[in-house]
Structure 1
Amino acid sequence: MNNMQPETVTVERLEGAGQAPCEVGESPVWREQEQALYWVDIPARTIARLDIGTGKKTGWRLPEKVACITFDRHGTVLAGCETGLFAVSLPTAPEASVRKLAAPDFPLPGMRFNDGRCDRQGRFWAGTMVQDMAAVSPAGSLYRYDAEGTLSTSVVDGLIVQNGLAWSPQGTTMYLSDSHPARRLVWAFDYDTDAGEPRNRRVFADLNQFSGRPDGAAVDSDGCYWTCANDAGLLLRFTPDGRLDRSIALPVTKPSMCTFGGRELDTLFVTSIRPADGANEHDGHLLAVRPGVHGAPECGYAGVL
């Protein structure tokens, strides 16, 4: 194991997010115009919102599992769920209003969308997986949903647990991971920003050499890639040339995804998963980490839902 000693950084558990932990917290999204953070709990079929200033939490329930979200310019949610992509309106809680937009041809039963994020041009990318991770099935694929509302065919296939989508600040490098214990890899691609096509796939970080599995990720303004090291309770930062240069210990076992937010984009908000056995008091809760760097702003969906 090629691990470095984790840094001591102040990590805050956001009590305003609620005392009840998520089973599988995922897909944190910072809404600058609201100064609010949104995220999901996949098995609970919920989208949550936390007003950072007041600490008020709001939640909406969907008719099926929701794994990843982004917003269009009018505040409608684009969500990757079990059976496809949905436009989700968030009226008065607790029920959301949903409309199905598109769905891939799932090759196997028991699949769903997993990790999703927009590129710098506002195309929404999301991948699929077989929900039974014990099956070790490489039936997952990565898809692109463009601003015209067209869902692509599979762009990257052979994925077990698709994860880790992120783009460099200029948008010319795309990152993608497979977080299954049998893979534990992060890939980088050259990204054609005009065509929305990733090319020249290569291994960027092999977490078989480190602790944990590469789950959700974010990129900072220096172009460094932060990944949640699931099962290791760490945030790992890799430089653009694939070198591990920072490791931050977290009070949760299974950090799942991170995003930069706050007024100065200087806070990493981290969701987490609550283990079925041996969970501690922080597992499943939302964390705020201030790593001393700023994030690269994330883009929403460029189309109108």
Structure 2
Amino acid sequence: MVNLQTPEITRVTTPHATIRCGVGESPIWVAKEAAWYWVDITAKTIWRLDASSGVVSSWQTAEMIACLSPQNNGGFIAGMESGIFHLKLATDGKVQAQHLAAPATSEMGMRFNDGRCDRQGRFWSGTMLIDMSVPRAAGHLYRYTREQGISAPFISNLFVQNGLAWSPDGRTMYLSDSHPNSQLIWAFDYDTDSGTPHNQRLFVDMKTMDGRPDGAAIDTDGCYWICANDAGLILRFTPEGKLDRQIAVPMKKPTMCCFGGDKLDTLMVASIAAGQAADDEWAGATILLNPGVQGYAETAFVG
């Protein structure tokens, strides 16, 4: 039996305006700052919420930014349109961007999408066609490290790469494809020494469920929380792939969730306004809720 949760929801706002992200994505918790970050891909914006003061700040990037992870020696590593970057966010609202790498071969009209670090601090992200209406699996999944640079594709034939997460011990990697032509979540055995996934297998087929699999997070029970885009739900799957909990959220298109807060028991959830009705007040909202479990802080990139 699936446990349906209805926790209290808090919307992230500013004193002067309601935040409505065209394509909100990649929420992360940076513990040393006690702050949340997330991005709006189409608006080329990085957002920050100070958890103590409630102050919201933002920065504009030169090109679309889809994902970011903190870097252990300061700043962030990010997946953008033209490659992987190191970013420093200045107090004057400017972004210093250093291009680190790009795939050896890449066609026009693509960008990076979902990305995060494994438990050892290696950065993973995948590419996709910006125009999702093109039903072509042109995306690839890459690994980036300071020593080795960007890898050759580890996984190919992806429409919309998403759902990256690692089990608590780091030995299982999860990956999803959000496109309506796929809607699959896979699990892999993961070699933590070499940073290599293998033994790809189907974890969940969401074509038979409400929503498409988008971004994900892991809790301390080893369960996989994933946003069900188009269904207004956050779903929790056990390590065996069984759906055991779901949370209804007021946004039809939630994109990614992340654990954070002082006790790592809060979920931040981003969402999409693009394509939604102008009078849908929750479309594009970024929210906070307590799911009743704790998660893990995202591992910083070892740079």
Same fold (TM over 0.5): yes
How many residue pairs match? The answer is: 301
Contact 2:266 2:288 in 1 (8 A): yes
Structure 1 residue runs of 5 or longer lacking an equivalent are none
Q: What residue identity is the alignment partner of 1:57?
A: V
Can you list the C-alpha shifts for 1:80-99, whole angstroms capped at 9, x where unaligned?
00000111111124221111
Partner of 1:299: 299
The aligned runs of 1:275-290 (5 Å cut-off) are 275-279=274-278, 280-290=280-290
- Report the equivalent of 2:9: 11
- The Cα offsets for residues 239-274 of structure 1, whole Å up to 9 and x where unpaired, read as 000000001100001000010000000001001111
Partner residue, 1:267: 266
CA offset at residue 75 of structure 1? 2.1
The 2-side partners of 1:79 and 1:278 are apart by 30
Cα 1:167–1:5 change in 2 (3 A) is closer
Structure 2 match to 1:59: 58
Deviations 1:92-125 (A, max 9, x none): 2422111111000344210000000000000000
Residue 38 (str. 1) matches residue 34 (str. 2): no
Note if 1:226 corresponds to 2:217: no
Q: How far apart in 2 are the matches of 1:149 and 1:92?
A: 32
Distance in 1 (alpha carbons) for counterparts of 2:60 and 2:299: 25
Query: Which is further off, 155-164 or 269-278?
Result: 269-278
The match for 2:124 is 125
Deviation of 1:5 after TM superposition, in Å, equals 6.9
2: distance between equivalents of 1:297 and 1:37? 11
Q: Please, what TM-score do these two structures have when normalized by structure 1?
A: 0.95
- Partner residue, 2:138: 139
Whether the aligned pair in 2 keeps the contact of 1:114 and 1:127 (CA below 8 Å) is: yes
Aligned ranges 1:96-245 → 2 under 5 Å:
96-148=95-147, 150-245=149-244
- Per-residue CA deviation, residues 22-43 of structure 1 (Å, 9 max, x unaligned), is 1011001100011100111101
Conserved 8 A contact 1:107-1:139: no
Opposite residue 265 of structure 2, the aligned amino acid is D
SS class of match (1:133) = coil
CA contact (8 A) 1:254 1:275 kept: no
Query: Quick one: percent identity of the two aligned structures?
Result: 52
2:271 aligned partner, one-letter code: S
Alignment of 1:60-99 (within 5 A): 60-99=59-98
Residue type of the alignment partner of 1:301: F
Query: Offset of 1:130 from its aligned partner?
Result: 0.4
Other structure's SS at 1:253 match: coil
- The SS at the match of 2:207 is helix
CA distance in 2, matches of 1:7, 1:199: 34
1:4 deviates by 4.8
Aligned to 1:252: 251
Q: CA RMSD in A?
A: 1.4
TM-score (norm 2): 0.96
Which aligned segments of 4 or more residues in structure 1 are displaced greater than 4 angstroms? none
